[in-house]
Amino acid sequence: MSEVKTKKFDYEWGENEPPAKKLISEGDILIKKLVENQKKTDITLQQHLMCSKQFEKGADITPLSRYNPGTSNLSDIINSTKYFNNIEHLKAAGLTDQDAQLYIDSLKGHQHLYSNHKNWEKSILQEHLEKLKKMVQIYESKASQPAMQKNLLQYGLAIKPQSVETKLLRFALENTKDIKSSISTSPIDIKDIEKQRFQHLKDSYLPPISVIRKKTRKLQRRLNTTPNIQDIPLNAPVNTKSKWDIKTNTESAPNIPIIEKKVFTCLPRSYYTVRNGEIVKLTNSEITTKHLDVAPKLSLEEIKELPKFKDYSPGVPSKVLYLKNLSNSVKEEDLRHIFKEFASDVKDYKLMKGRLRGQAFVTFEDDRIASKALEELNGTLLSNKPVIIQYGYDKR
């Protein structure tokens, strides 16, 4: 193999001169199979794709808990791991579980072997062990030939070096990492891992906690001694020639501008009247002192001028007054304000809601007071709408 490795290949052969040695790689075998499949005419592409593929069965992996069940210490786990690795190595060589156990017992001596396998005849046991040893030797000899595999890879890369397949194979081999075949059985040192992970923190300087507390107290004392602007009195004495009796520093007092407060009042009250069948707002010139003293209201003639109430009639006198044409925003407090002159004689206020909104009932002590209230308050404007009052039905 060394001669073949050091020899420089010359591909310029003569016409009738065969090559010195034919190098067959896995790539050549694959290309030959592909060419043979392309030459077949008795099979279609769909049938070729439907052909079943055969895969090699991988090695069976047994969990570690099978060899070391229950609670164990570190030494037991290390021993069971070594035993587990030996069993898997022998199973990879083609041995079964029983053969692997038999091979391991043979390494511990003949007495240990014969005592654990008493059902075997010694001659048959020795012959079976020789077969197992040959299988293990063949497997280890194949596993110890990385140089031969490396030469085969070099030969495969030498054939058609500029092809896409060869370039991809070279790229894959250059980026393949070496995988260790044996598992490290040494225990994990947590302290060493901590030193490796946090070494950069030890290199950087971190002050001790006592220094941090000392600087914090010093900063707190500086903040406490700093004067607060709010503590300086704003009402400083008048500046005079002599300032021997002034204890506060008037010059350091901030000049805060005085903002005059504005007084906000309600809007002026609006007054309305009826002209030509329409409600008209009165101007300031039309409002007299009489309108200011008396609440604005519509007369009986003005009420009948409204199209909605042209057939208005107060009805049969009773102690219950029926109010209508009320605004939706009217509340019971507004009714109490209108009837404040008759507050002592009013028994009940009932403001309707829902579909009867805009109507109300006011109950008095007797009919005489109810008639007086109707004459004085009928047509009073409330929320820009005249209140129409009639006698209601008295349940006696």
Measure the CA dihedral 95/96/101/106, to 10°: -40
Question: Residue 1: which of 151, 162, 157, 220 has the closest Cα?
Answer: 151
Length reported for the chain: 396
DSSP string of 335-396, one letter each residue: HHHHTGGGTTTEEEEEE--GGGTT-EEEEESSHHHHHHHHHHHTTBEETTEEPEEEE-----
Give me the pLDDT at residue 360, please. 92
Give me the pLDDT at residue 179, please. 45
pTM listed for this prediction: 0.30
CB 377 within 8 Å of CB 389: yes
* Angle, CA of 103, 107 and 111, to the nearest 5°: 100
- Tens digit of each residue's pLDDT, the chain (396 residues): 444 444 444 444 444 555 555 667 777 888 888 888 778 788 777 776 777 666 555 556 666 666 666 667 778 778 878 888 888 888 888 888 888 888 888 888 877 788 878 788 888 888 888 888 888 888 887 766 655 566 666 666 777 777 777 777 777 776 655 444 444 555 567 778 887 877 777 666 777 888 889 999 999 988 888 766 555 555 555 555 566 666 655 555 556 777 777 777 777 777 777 777 788 887 766 655 444 444 578 888 888 888 888 888 888 889 999 999 898 888 888 888 888 888 888 888 999 888 888 899 999 988 888 888 898 888 888 888 889 999 987 765
The residue with tokens 């070099």 is: 154
Q: Where are the domains of the chain?
A: 64-130, 272-391
DSSP string of 266-322, one letter each residue: PPPPP-EEEETTEEEEPPTTT--HHHHHS--B--HHHHHHSGGGTT----S--SEEE
| DSSP state letter for 195 | H
Question: Tokens standing for 222?
Answer: 């500086």
Give me the pLDDT at residue 155, please. 66
272-391 — its CATH code? 3.30.70.330
